[in-house]
Structure 1
Amino acid sequence: MKNFELFLAQSGLPIFYIKIGLGFLFSFLITFFSIPTILRISRKKNLMDEPGIRSSHLRKIANLGGIAIFYSIGICAPIFAYELFDLYKFLFASLVILLYVGVMDDIVVMRAYKKLVAQVVVSCLVVIGSDIRIRNLFGIFGIYEINYFVSVVFSIITFIILINAFNLIDGIDGLAGGYSLVCSSLFGISYYRLGSYNYPLVILSVIIIGSVLAFLYYNLSNYRSSKIFMGDTGSMLLGFLLAFTSISFIDIFIDKNIPNIPRYHLKSAPVVAVAILILPIVDTLNVIIIRLINKKSPFDADRNHIHHKLLKLNLTHRRSSGYIILYYLFIVGLAYLLRHTNVNLLLFIILFLGFFGAYIPHFIYTLRHIKNTKN
């Protein structure tokens, strides 16, 4: 890798910006040219997603797009952001495990407990093995530094929740991909502003952006022959990586007394991370609450997700995804403007607006129904 950096340095441009450009370019191209092959194999072997109770599509669609996303990230990240894999020894192993479990589930549909076991394993690998964990809540509910054991358990649960939450929002074209694009962009910009020590995380964010952009070209295609879903493979990989980047973001603001590495302090760091990931968090909590109120299992499939409510208003997949992403971007912007506000007050505002947004489609549908009844 040192020889590679020496080769890049001879161009006269800063190595970091060359890595950014090449990382984005190659991640985009690898995904873009991998998907047509995956589509051909999926059709030939009939590896297609069948419409079900939660499905928003009416025909069989290939659902192995996550393989291309992994292929792209798995090649580009070790080349352009290899420092991450030196620092976090179990990161790549975790991605490989999720790839295997995701592909198995997309092809033969695994039992939920088997997927959960795999998620627990990868979460333990990065939390315990790579020491990626939430160490401090900066005063949320009066909690500051967390005991090591509690920190490990809390972080593992956070990883599992975010992996599954991201999987749940992957219900319509463009939503999971578009939202991961937004989250990666926001985390990437934040890491860039926080200094050169975080540049490998910036490059990882850019690689994710390039890969997801290429995937969205096919996912949002109007032609059935070129359309593809990311499947559980893609949603679990992206959910895991966003959990990894969000926890790393919170960890940056903790004074670890490491020499030659600048530390930062932002009391609202955990809330800002919650704001960036507000959609999967709120959507998951909302559907679980609804199922419990209706005395159903939290794991039962239904159509109470935010995107299902927007489709009920006869919106297209693209418009539904666009409206959802724009609304939750507004929440992120507000969190940034109020980042120096009391951390508990800010958390309340973010969660309130998050849940309020989840019910806006329901309010509109009810008003339409009342209006139509009167007419």
Structure 2
Amino acid sequence: MGAGGAGVPLRELGLVFLVACVITYLATGVVRSAVVRSGRLMEIRERDVHDMPKPRLGGVAMYTGFVAAVLLADQLPALTRGFKPVTPEMDAVVWGAFIIVAVGAIDDLVELDAATKLIGQILGALTMSLMGLSWTFIYIPFANTTVVLDQFQSVAWTTLFAVIVMNAINFVDGLDGLAAGLGGISGMALLAFSVIILNDQGGTVAAYPPAIIGAALLGICAGFLPHNFEPSRIFMGDSGAMLLGLLLAAASTSASGKINMALYGGADTVGLMVPLLVVLGAFSIPVTDLVMAVVRRTKNGRSPFSADKMHLHHRLLELGHTHRRVVLVLYAWMLALAMGTVSFAAFPSYVAALILLGGIIVAAALTAIPVLKDRRDATGRGAGTPRGRGAAPRAKAPLAATEGAPGTPGDAAAGSQGVDSHPVG
């Protein structure tokens, strides 16, 4: 066993992370060069906000890194409990992800219609579920009970859950480096949770697949970010965004959906819900943005799919944040939510609550920096000089540097995902 205590193969998981990171970094350069040489760059569309064509297909490189990491893990004695004949889950996620990346790659090249892409997502998620990675239990916290799923219910819920998460991550992929960063933070949180479970329960089989997936997910995101952080040289495309979503769904299903949480005490129950909370945190940003957009437009008598410039990232830009700082602020929120929830599995509830609250306060403070600067500047100018008279207002950050902002169909040039995401529906 690796360092870190009985049943906790930290060294081996570190190798999985490293291989995923290095192979993804190298493969991304190869994919980018191949796409540029072939001339298969996506033309600028009316709804795009970037100002020059860039290659997509980053998801192909990310999948290459993921498979390389999984192949390595399969050869490490300390991680063999995550593979056949002990469990089929890693094979299931590799083949499900293959279908998802294939569908996403085709979409990156020829732009599939929403219905075709949805069918591909269902096929990939269904394959993963039928091959053995699916929910067995659904814990209902308020009733402190667990629903045991039959095979049909298990496959149906796993498929639905994976499709929802894939589209949620696809929706958030709107600025350079945003989806990769949020995916990496989620992977880190799932890895940390799995390591805690391995340590507490003496190497339980259920924690090996999510630990391997989490380490590989963190690695592929870390390897892709140098190519994708603002200013990006390549986009992950739908192939990458949907891959991240499927891996998050797979890790959460493996960690939460196979443990009967009602058998544990209250404190442990909170900890065992962490994978679900981490995933909810990962797509809370895009889902909140989507719900707000639909409510806002409907309330104003407009189509829910009409364009506007009121998305969350637009609001942060309007506050005075730069594009890069918008991404960093959203990273801070994701760190606060993901690692804050993981802390419930490692510390007493009151300590974990303080950690979560502290993270939220820091993220909120970072969000408010431009407002605080404006107030300080206004105080410096003196009460007799109204804002906008005698001083130029804060310049708004240009929108052209974004990777493309997530949005519903029809969000043309108003912040809808331009290059990297156009979720089904």
Q: What is the TM-score with the length of structure 1 in the denominator?
A: 0.77
2:18 is aligned to 25
Alignment map for 1:1-375 (pairs within 5 Å): 16-52=9-45, 55-81=48-74, 83=80, 84=82, 86=84, 87-88=88-89, 89-133=91-135, 135-140=137-142, 144-148=146-150, 149-195=152-198, 196=203, 197=205, 198-220=207-229, 222=231, 227-251=233-257, 253-254=259-260, 266-269=268-271, 271-277=273-279, 278-295=281-298, 303-336=309-342, 372=387
Give the total of aligned pairs.
Answer: 344
User: Mean Cα displacement is larger for which, 306-315 or 63-72?
Assistant: 306-315
Residue pair 1:39, 1:62 contacting (<8 A) in 2 also: yes
> 2: CA distance between counterparts of 1:193 and 1:93?
28
Residue pair 1:288, 1:298 contacting (<8 A) in 2 also: no
3-state DSSP of counterpart to 1:120: helix
> 2: CA distance between counterparts of 1:111 and 1:310?
31
Residues 279 and 333 of structure 1: CA distance in aligned 2, closer, same or farther (over 3 Å): same
3-state DSSP of counterpart to 2:226: helix
Residues 139 and 165 of structure 1: CA distance in aligned 2, closer, same or farther (over 3 Å): same
Q: Deviations over 1:68-93 (max 9, x none)?
A: 10111122213314754532243222
> 2: CA distance between counterparts of 1:298 and 1:156?
26
Residue pair 1:250, 1:269 contacting (<8 A) in 2 also: no
> 2: CA distance between counterparts of 1:334 and 1:20?
22
1:11 is aligned to none
Deviation at 1:303, TM superposition (A): 4.8
Deviation at 1:159, TM superposition (A): 1.0
Residues 322 and 246 of structure 1: CA distance in aligned 2, closer, same or farther (over 3 Å): same
Residues 53 and 328 of structure 1: CA distance in aligned 2, closer, same or farther (over 3 Å): farther
3-state DSSP of counterpart to 1:136: strand
User: Quick one: percent identity of the two aligned structures?
Assistant: 23
**Over the residues paired in the alignment, what is the CA RMSD in angstroms?**
3.9
Residue pair 1:63, 1:230 contacting (<8 A) in 2 also: yes
Higher helix share: 1
3-state DSSP of counterpart to 1:218: helix
> 2: CA distance between counterparts of 1:132 and 1:185?
22
In structure 1, stretches of 5+ residues that fail to align are 9-13
> 2: CA distance between counterparts of 1:32 and 1:155?
31
Deviation at 1:254, TM superposition (A): 1.8
In structure 2, stretches of 5+ residues that fail to align are 376-385, 391-425
Instruction: Name which structure has the greater RCO, CA cutoff 8 Å, separation 6+.
Output: 2
Q: Which amino acid is the alignment partner of residue 32 of structure 2?
A: L
Residues 150 and 75 of structure 1: CA distance in aligned 2, closer, same or farther (over 3 Å): same
> 2: CA distance between counterparts of 1:97 and 1:263?
39
Q: Which amino acid is the alignment partner of residue 325 of structure 2?
A: R
Deviation at 1:105, TM superposition (A): 0.6
Q: Which amino acid is the alignment partner of residue 331 of structure 2?
A: I
Q: What is the TM-score with the length of structure 2 in the denominator?
A: 0.68
